[in-house]
Amino acid sequence: MYLKTLALINYKNFENQKFDFDPKINCLVGENGVGKTNVLDSIYHLAYGKSYFNPINKQNINHQADFFVIDGMFSKGEKPEQVVVSVKKNQKKIIKRNGKAYDRLREHIGLIPVVIISPADRDLITEGSSNRRKFMDGIISQSNPDYLQALLRYNKALSQRNALLKYFAANQTFNRDNLEIYNAEMFSSGAIIHRERKEFIKAFTPIFKKRYADISNDKEEVNLVYKSQLFDTEWKVLFEENLQKDMILQYSGKGVHRDDLSLKIKDFPVKKYGSQGQQKTFLIALKLAQYDFIKEELSTKPILLLDDIFDKLDEKRVAQLIALVTKDDLGQIFISDTHKERTENVVKASSDSYNMINL
Ligand SMILES: Nc1ncnc2c1ncn2[C@@H]1O[C@H](COP(=O)(O)OP(=O)(O)OP(=O)(O)O)[C@@H](O)[C@H]1O
Ligand SMILES: [Mg+2]
């Protein structure tokens, strides 16, 4: 599967721009601030219906305009697939596949598998657990629509439960039956989420370890550990024990929304004990494992978006990466870099077919 053409209207710094892409390698080159990352993000948009970098839709609209359109034409097994994402200020985002609008975003997820590697991935290591949950959720959802549905159900019940806790506090009242409605919903959807995350990490960890070993030449032992309150205590007990605290804080403190993924190097957190280089290697290995996993699950090579890749890897590693993706025909890859020659040299070595796009 690959992206053939892309049209951007009022998307961030692009007022009206069209691109024709190579089925294999596309390099976006130009100085800082010309919009290289924005092009990659627009492709991410076509896959996930949202930005990788900025979740606030209207901030992705060009400052001079009140709407944006991202129009992508893909070729999937020789069949054309058009995906259009459009956002108008103060209106709901619309995503269309071949001219027909989706009722729900989740119907679209998985159609266009995309993996992005960007300097912003650093957040996975340095920031809070929500980044790591998002990482797990993003991968599992691509191949498991039931999971995505359970997540949406869970999040809805969670925010309703929190609203109810606030209501109890504001009105100095309590109603167990009302609370139980949301508890039950969180138990049933949360159980699916917990089970699937557990299964996922079990399958994903060996893939990740292999990637890390390949990149680092087997230098050090790494591991991923799924953390969840549900491992220690049963749902009902967990909620019951924490009820008083929930009432005081007016917030649900227990459940899969507190899950985490601990990232370890020699049994220590990579955030505290990993060197800069080890952290970069860790992130690349995580992303490549994501690529392998999705490729396996969906039997399609994802489109790979490499933003500022030389930030993380030297030229030799970048060349290895490109060779890997383009090896047997299917994979398409987008690379952004400020140095045209550097990128072209690396790319030339692995493929006859490539496209340099000067921005
Ligand atoms: N809503 C918006 N409207 C207009 N311009 C925007 C908007 N959002 C971002 N920009 C502009 O987009 C540009 C940044 O684009 P981008 O991050 O893609 O650059 P880049 O080429 O990747 O740069 P670098 O090499 O520094 O990574 C900035 O000039 C910024 O002002
Ligand atoms: Mg950039």
Mean pLDDT rounded to a whole number for the chain: 92
- Identify which ligand lies nearest to the alpha carbon of 54: 1
Q: pLDDT tens across 332-346, in order?
A: 999 999 999 988 988
Q: Is residue 14 predicted with pLDDT exceeding 90?
A: yes
CB count within 10 Å of CB 95 equals 22
What average pLDDT score do residues 114-142 get? 94
Confidence of residue 98 (pLDDT cuts 50, 70, 90): very high
* Residue-wise pLDDT tens digits, 200-255: 999 999 999 999 998 887 778 999 999 999 898 888 899 999 999 999 999 999 99
Q: What are phi and psi of 262, to 5 degrees?
A: -90, 135
Q: 341 in a domain, yes or no?
A: yes
What gap in Å lies between CA 82 and CA 260, rounded to an integer?
36
Between residues 294 and 277, the one the model is more confident about: 294
Provide the token pair at 144: 């498991």
Q: Which ligand is nearest to the CA of 359?
A: 1
Joined tokens for residue 96: 């269309």
> Within a domain: residue 253?
no
For residue 32, the CA-to-ligand 2 centroid distance in Å is 7
For residue 175, being part of any structural domain is answered with no
Q: Is the pLDDT of residue 257 over 90?
A: yes
Which residues, in sequence order, are bridge partners of residue 223? 264
Range of the domain at 4: 1-113+300-359
What pLDDT score does 310 carry? Answer: 81
Nearest by Cα to 160 from 183, 129, 192, 128 = 183
Residue 200 belongs to some domain of the structure: no
Q: How many domains does the chain have?
A: 1
- The reported pLDDT for the residue numbered 137 is 95
Residues with CB under 5 A from ligand 2 (ion): 36-37
Cα 189 to chain center, whole Å? 21
42 close to ligand 1 (CB < 6 Angstrom) = no
Residue 128: what pLDDT? 95
Please name the residue whose Cα sits nearest to atom 5 of ligand 1: 13
- Asked if 264 and 225 touch (Cβ cutoff 8 Å), the reply is yes
Give yes or no for residue 314 having a pLDDT over 80: no
Q: Name the E strands within 98-250.
A: 100-101, 114-117, 222-227
- List pLDDT tens digits, range 156-203: 999 999 999 999 999 999 999 999 999 999 999 999 999 999 999 999
Higher-confidence residue of 291 and 319: namely 291
Predicted confidence at residue 330, as pLDDT, reads 61
Which SS3 state, helix, strand or coil, does residue 85 take? strand
Task: Flag whether 52 is in a domain.
Answer: yes
Q: What is the pLDDT of residue 328?
A: 64
**Is 57 a pocket residue for ligand 1 (Cβ < 6 Å)?**
no
In a domain, 2, yes or no: yes
Atom of ligand 1 minimally distant from the CA of 31: 25
Q: Is the CB of 56 under 6 A from ligand 1?
A: no
* Count of C-beta atoms within a 10 Å radius of residue 24: 21
More confident residue, 315 or 155: 155
Strand order in the sheet with 303-307: 114-117, 303-307, 333-337, 25-29, 354-358
Instruction: Give, using CA atoms, the residue closest to atom 11 of ligand 1.
Output: 13
38 C-beta closer than 6 A to ligand 1: yes
What are the structure tokens assigned to 8, written together?
A: 């951007």
Find the CATH number of the domain harbouring 44. Answer: 3.40.50.300
Both tokens of residue 81? 């697939």
Is any atom of ligand 1 closer than 6 Å to the C-beta of 338?
yes
Residue 59, number of CB atoms within 10 A of its CB: 11
Look at residue 77 and tell me if it is in a domain. Answer: yes
* 39: its two tokens: 């092009």
CA of 34, closest atom in ligand 1: 21
* Cα(7)–Cα(117) distance, integer angstroms: 22
Measured in angstroms, how far is the CA atom of residue 304 from the centroid of ligand 2?
15
Q: Is the pLDDT of residue 320 over 70?
A: yes
Between the alpha carbon of residue 123 and those of residues 126, 280, 337, the distances in Å are 5, 11, 21
Is residue 358 in contact with ligand 1, taking CB distance under 6 Å?
A: no
- Report the residue count for the chain: 359
Distance from the alpha carbon of residue 41 to the mean position of ligand 1, in angstroms: 11
Across 28-46, average pLDDT? 96
For the chain, first and last CA: distance in Å?
Answer: 25
Lowest-confidence range among 38-52, 117-131, 260-274, 305-319?
A: 305-319
- pLDDT tens digits, one per residue of 194-215: 999 999 999 999 999 999 998 8
Is residue 332 in a domain? yes
